[in-house]
Structure 1
Amino acid sequence: MANKRIFAGEPLRSLRQRRGLRQAEMAATLGISASYLSQLENDERHLTPALADALASAFPIDWADLAPADADTIAEGLRSALADPQLSTQVPGEQAERLARQFPAFAQAFVELHGLHARSRQRLEMMDETIGASLAAGGRLPWEEVRDWFHLANNYVDRIDRDAERLAYEIAGDEASPRVRTMQQWLRQAGVGVEWKSGGPMRRFDEAARAIQLDSNQPLESGRFQLAYQVAALALSDQIAAIVAEAPLRTEAARHLLTVGLGNYAAGALLMPYERFRSAARTLRHDVDRLRQLFHTSFEQCCHRLSTLQRPQARGIPVFFARVDMAGNITKRHSATRLQFGRFGGACPLWIVHEAVAIPDRIHVQLAEMPDGIRYVSIAKGLVKPSGSFYRPPRRYAVVLGCEAALADEFIYADGLNLRSEDAVTRIGISCRICPRDACDQRAFPPSDRGIAVDPSQRDLVPYRVVEG
Structure 2
Amino acid sequence: MSDRNIKTRLYAGRTLRDLRLASGLNQRAMAGRLGLSVSYLSQLETGERPLTPAVSAALARHYPQALALIEGEAPARRLAALEAALADPTLPPVASGEAARLAEERPDLADHLIALHAGRRAAEERLALAEEAFTAGAGARLPWEAVRDWFHEAGNYVDRLDRAAEALAGETGVEAALAAMGIAIALDDREDAPLARFEHATLTLNAAAPIETRRFLAAHRLAATAFAEPIAAIVAAAALPGDEAGRLLAIGLANYAAGALVMPYAAFRSAARDLRHDIDRLARRFGVSFEQVCHRLSTLQRPGAEGVPFYFCRVDMAGNITKRHSATRLQFARFGGACPLWHVHEAVAIPDRILVQHAETPDGVRYVSMAKGLVKSSGRFERLARRYAVVLGCEAIHAADFVYADAIDRRGLATPIGISCRLCPRTDCDQRAFPPSDRAISVEPNVRRVVPYRVM
Give the TM-score category using the shorter length: 0.7 to 0.9
* Equivalent of 1:326 in 317, 320, 323: 317
For 1:334 and 1:236, the matched residues in 2 are separated by 24
Asked whether 1:86 is paired with 2:90, we answer yes
Q: Distance in 1 between matches of 2:404 and 2:307?
A: 16
- 1:212 matched residue in structure 2: 203
Of 73-82 and 358-367, the range deviating more from structure 2: 73-82
Name the counterpart of 1:344. 335
Provide the residue aligned with 1:407 in structure 2.
Answer: 398
Q: How many residue pairs are counted as aligned between the two chains?
A: 384
What secondary structure, in the 3-state scheme, does the structure 1 residue paired with 2:441 have? strand
Partner of 1:122: 125
Q: Secondary structure at the match of 1:364?
A: strand
Letter in 2 for 1:204: R
- TM value normalised by structure 1: 0.79
The normalised TM-score by structure 2 is: 0.82
Match of 1:186 among 177, 185, 197: 177
Give the secondary-structure state (helix, strand or coil) at the position aligned to 2:346. helix
**Contact 1:367–1:375 under 8 Å retained in 2:** yes
Which of 230, 233, 244 is residue 253 of structure 1 equivalent to? 244
Q: Deviations over 1:221-271 (max 9, x none)?
A: 111110110011111111111111100311111100100110110000111
Structure 1 runs not aligned, ≥5 long: 2-67, 172-181
Instruction: Quote the Cα distance in structure 1 between the aligned partners of 2:145 and 2:315.
Output: 16
- One-letter identity of the residue aligned with 1:446: P
State the AA in 2 paired with 1:238: E
Amino acid at match of 2:189: S
Q: Could you tell me whether the CA contact under 8 Å between 1:325 and 1:331 is conserved in 2?
A: yes
Inter-partner Cα distance in structure 2 for 1:89 and 1:189: 62
Identity %: 57
The alpha-carbon deviation at position 460 of structure 1 amounts to 1.4
Q: Which runs of 5+ in 2 are unaligned?
A: 5-71
Shift of 1:91: 4.3
Aligned pair partner of 1:444 in 426, 433, 441: 433
**Is this contact kept in 1: 2:88–2:363, CA < 8 A?**
no
Deviation at 1:274, TM superposition (A): 0.4
The alpha carbon displacement at 1:447 in A equals 1.0
Tell me what 1:428 maps to.
417
CA distance in 2, matches of 1:343, 1:70: 34
Seen in structure 2, the aligned counterparts of structure 1 residues 255 and 91 have a Cα distance that, compared at 3 Å, is farther
User: Structure 2 CA distance, aligned partners of 1:127 and 1:90?
Assistant: 33
Aligned to 1:383: 374
1:242-391 aligned within 5 A: 242-391=233-382
Hey, what's the Cα distance between the residues in 2 that align with 1:73 and 1:388? 54
Distance 2:437 2:137 in 1: 16
Letter in 1 for 2:391: V
2:54 — aligned with what?
Answer: none
Structure 1 residue 81 displacement after superposition: 1.9
Q: Contact 1:369–1:375 at 8 Å: present in 2 too? A: yes
Q: Could you tell me how far apart the structure 2 residues matched to 1:328 and 1:79 are? A: 36
Please, what is the CA RMSD of the aligned residues? 1.6
- Which structure has the bigger radius of gyration? 1
Correspondence for 2:104 among 101, 105, 119? 101
Q: 2:194 is matched with which residue?
A: 201
Q: Is the 8 A contact 2:87 2:93 kept in 1?
A: no
Separation in 1, partners of 2:196, 2:330: 35
C-alpha displacement of 1:85: 2.9
Note the alpha carbon deviations across 1:175-220, whole angstroms, 9 max, x for none: xxxxxxx4222211111121111131111111xx212111111111
Aligned pair 1:231/2:232, yes or no? no
